[in-house]
Amino acid sequence: MKKKLLSAILTITLIFSNVSVAVAAPSVSANSYEETVETPPRTYRGEEEEQVSSIEAIEPEIKRAGNTSLPVSYKSPYITSVKNQNPYGTCWAFACIAASEASLIREGLADTTADLSEWQLAYFTNHVITDPLGGTEGDSFTTTDNYLDAGGNQTQATYRLATWQGLVEEEEAPYSTVKSNSSAVLEDSLAYSKDKFHLENVYWISLDDTSIVKEKIMEFGACAASYYDSKTYYSVSSQWNTEEEIAIYCPDDYSTNHAITIVGWDDNYSKEKFGTYKPENDGAWLCKNSWDTNWSKDGYFWLSYEDVPLHSKNAYFYDYEAKDNYDFNYQYDGGAIPYYRGYGLSDVYGANIYTAKANQYVKAVGFFTRNIAYDSTIYIYRNCDINNPASGQLVATIPSEQLYAGFHTVTLKEPVYVKKDTGFSVVIKHGSTEENPEPYLVVDHTYDYSWCVNTSKASSGQSFISYNGKKWTDIGTKYGDNCRIKAYADETTDIMVEEIILDRTSMELKIGNSLSLNPVVTPADATNQALVWETTDSAVATVSSEGVITAVGAGMAEITCKSQDGNFVKAVCSITVTKPINGITLNITNAELKVGETMDLTAIITPPDAYNKTIKWETPDSNVINLSTTGETTAFTENGVAAATTCITAMRAGTATISCTAQDGSGVNAICNVTVLPSDSQPLESGDAKLKKGDTFTHAKSGATYEITGLNENGGTVAYIEPSKSTKTIKIPDTIQLNGNTYKVTSIQAGAFENNIKLTKITIGSNVTNIGSKAFNGCSKLTTVTMGKNVTKIGAKAFYKCTKLKKVIIPSKVTTIGKQAFYGCKNLKTITIKTTKLTSKKVGSKTFTGIYKKATIKVPKSKLKSYKKLLKAKGVSSKAKIKK
């Protein structure tokens, strides 16, 4: 198939009927018609497509393996008597009516005496009457010649019957009347008010698919078809008053010129029974003609399976319901010529917007498909916007796979209530399939052919087309088209449900527990108070037809209570199903640390899928130990294990307890006991003072407080604990002097500057290797940080919510960055990372969450790829620019 996708221009494909058609012999008057006339009237208008776009048409055909269960021969028992179309070219109407009568008998809607009017069909196909709802006002179809001789086809018949113009009894519009008077007219009331049946479906099936056609003949009784009629291809020299049924085979590729009804077949019908031209194989269709019973044998003849013109045509099967099936047929398509629109893409959407004529239930939708294998979906919206049919309240979604081309009626699973004078839309999505990759929409369109004029009068806000169901083109305004989409509805006096009130709108349940919801329906006298209960997640909570909710698994679900009366009023209750924590296991329950040492304490939560995995770390002995994480935190699940970790730092000699408690109400907790021992270092005499590891002192020059972390003969190392006062600019020195001894400043103690709201600039000395947890937590005015070159560890929450911090350089020796170290630094726009030693395990969770979304982060060239992944996993926005 040739394809050309037009991204911005709507592609149009249409069917012309002004193809090469064999011209009928001049009609003879009723008075001069004799049995000896050799050429009876015929005139069938072909339905071939002529392309006007660069997209090639999709031929409506299906290939299947033969159905071996089909009988070798068959004659339908549902056939009415042979009629006579003389003296006009109305064979198409006779074929349609004959096939329709057979279908009605087969369905039990009529008996073999059924006699429906061919004249009424032909007349109102060419004399369009506005439908009772006014949707087809201004539409028309007229032929250049007298409509009785202009011909027609089954596509036209389908379009006309789908409007509910017919079928009527023969006695209401007898052919004998027009037979003697070609100018005779029918009353307008016969268009709609006298119809006996309503069209339900029409299947257009390629006659190349012999087995499928046979199946459908047995299902519907008969089909309408067309072939090329010429005495050249007859098996007999005289076609009248013969005891032998005529056999016809045409080996030439002519357009068809006559419509007939296929009523059976014989696979063994001998090829030798045909005339001068014989098919290669046995087998033929048994056909009912409309040239009276004295033509051929009793008006029937045989047509070879291999007849060449036949193979390019379709069989048409008609399916009906009684006329009382629906009260209203909403429609806009009153014309009778095929026309198609599409995009040459995989999907096409069509839609009609209607205004309800009464309080009603929309119960079914009718629409056409151009080719085989349409994967269709129907959507019904109420109160849609006048320019957007897919807006308002979506009240129905109905998948509808259509195997055959033709007309289809799809019943809604639940009728949709629409209040009088309010709008509703019917949206049809035709999706692509393997057999039909480029579906098209069937529309009614104004077009002037050589033999007829089709007029579609379309107003704005009626019909729309779209390639994605979101952006819509009003084809009435733009092209004068209307979608061939119909809505069927019944008027109702039912009192509808207006509101449903549940006794609760949210609840929490534990797994295994159940609870009933009690709905109150208003008004209390609503006709149909039946309710439908649904859950959004049956793995979390189920609900019975009586509204009993049962908690199944941890999580959240919504329980919906919906009215069943078509008004689709609903109420919702949110359900939280909890799976409580039933155990907390610490990796260490008893520990000994020396002053200055650290230890990670990890809590394992069971079960790992507990709904609320929030725990709380606490210690009453903060003078003895420091916890990097205190208060509530959520355990993270990885590889099926839910765990949370805090880092313990020994501060003073003594004992301490650490508790980890579940916050889901279960009360589950675990305890770790810690003993802090003095450092092993020997005291150093300095002047009159005896200093030991763990002692604190105030630096005379800066007033800052330090703690001794190590001693030697020249002094040792100290940790910066806190400044002497809240100053804006602080420089942490490389070393300090005390009593003539030199101490290297190697760390910043946890929480040293926590919540210092005056600090704006900090310079960290080159001997500092460790920045403690929460060291600068909450320093909301800190804008500038300069780290020393020897920093190796940045503790958890070290710069937590330093909201004015703009730029950071992370030195080359850094190996560890604690979780949430830069969390909430919303103005941190520039980060330079010089270290190449960072890994996912060495960088805590949410380290960079909440920094400036479009931050620029410069990383070592060799780490560009891995750091991009790492940084985004630790909270860097996808909008940030990470470069080398």
* b/e map 653-670, b = 16+ CB within 10 Å: ebebebbbbbebebebeb
Rounded to the nearest 10 degrees, the angle between the axes of helix 118-126 and helix 91-106 is 120
Divide the 884 residues of the chain into consecutive groups of 10 and give the mean pLDDT of each group.
29 28 29 46 67 30 50 97 96 98 97 96 96 96 92 95 94 96 95 94 95 97 97 92 93 95 98 97 98 96 97 94 94 93 88 97 96 93 95 95 95 94 97 86 91 93 95 95 97 92 91 92 91 94 94 91 89 90 94 89 91 91 88 87 92 89 90 83 48 81 85 85 82 87 92 92 95 95 95 96 96 96 96 95 95 95 93 94 93
CB proximity list for 411: less than 8 A, separation 6 or greater: 363, 364
Nearest-5° Cα angle at 340, 335 to 345: 160
Q: What is the pLDDT of residue 68?
A: 54
Segment holding 199, helix H or strand E:
strand 197-206
CB proximity list for 248: less than 8 A, separation 6 or greater: 227, 229, 233, 234, 235, 274, 275, 301, 302, 303, 304, 307
Q: What is the pLDDT of residue 684?
A: 46
Q: What is the SS3 assignment for 251-300?
A: CCCCCCCEEEEEEEEECCCCHHHCCCCCCCCCCEEEEECCECCCECECCE
Q: What is the pLDDT of residue 693?
A: 83
* b/e map 616-640, b = 16+ CB within 10 Å: bbebeeeebbbbbbbeebebeeeee
Q: Which of 194, 196, 216, 197 is nearest to 205 (CA)?
A: 216
Q: Name the residue with tokens 């209040």.
A: 419
pTM: 0.64
Distance CA 741, CA 714 (A): 6
DSSP designation for 497: P
Distance CA 90, CA 75 (A): 25
CB proximity list for 191: less than 8 A, separation 6 or greater: 124, 129, 165, 166
Rounded to the nearest 10 degrees, the angle between the axes of helix 118-126 and helix 154-161 is 90
Q: Which of 499, 507, 564, 565 is nearest to 540 (CA)?
A: 507
Q: What is the pLDDT of residue 7?
A: 28
Strand partners, 490: 361
CB proximity list for 315: less than 8 A, separation 6 or greater: 204, 205, 206, 207, 213, 216, 223, 224, 225, 262
Q: What is the pLDDT of residue 637?
A: 86
Q: In this structure, which amino acid lies at residue 327?
A: D
Distance CA 98, CA 220 (A): 12
pLDDT tens readout for residues 827-865: 999 999 999 999 999 999 999 999 999 999 999 999 999
Report DSSP letters for 205-254, one per residue. Answer: EETT-HHHHHHHHHHHS-EEEEE---GGGBSSS--BS-SS-EEE---S-P
Q: What is the pLDDT of residue 166?
A: 82
Q: Which of 280, 279, 299 is nearest to 289 (CA)?
A: 299
Helix (H, G, I), strand (E, B) or coil at 325: coil
DSSP designation for 862: G
Strand partners, 856: 830, 881
CB proximity list for 285: less than 8 A, separation 6 or greater: 225, 262, 264, 265, 302, 303, 304, 305
Q: Give CA 401 to chain center in angstroms.
A: 15
How buried is residue 757: exposed, middle or buried, by Cβ count under 10 Å (0-12/13-18/19+)?
exposed
Helix (H, G, I), strand (E, B) or coil at 636: strand
Which tokens belong to 622? 């903060």
Residue 121: count other Cβ atoms within 10 Å of its Cβ.
27
Helix (H, G, I), strand (E, B) or coil at 414: strand
Q: Name the residue with tokens 């839309």.
A: 425
Strand partners, 882: 857
Q: How far, in Å, are 65, 803, 856 from residue 879 at the CA level?
A: 57, 19, 10
Helix (H, G, I), strand (E, B) or coil at 40: coil
Q: Which of 277, 255, 265, 272 is nearest to 210 (CA)?
A: 265
Q: What is the pLDDT of residue 503?
A: 93
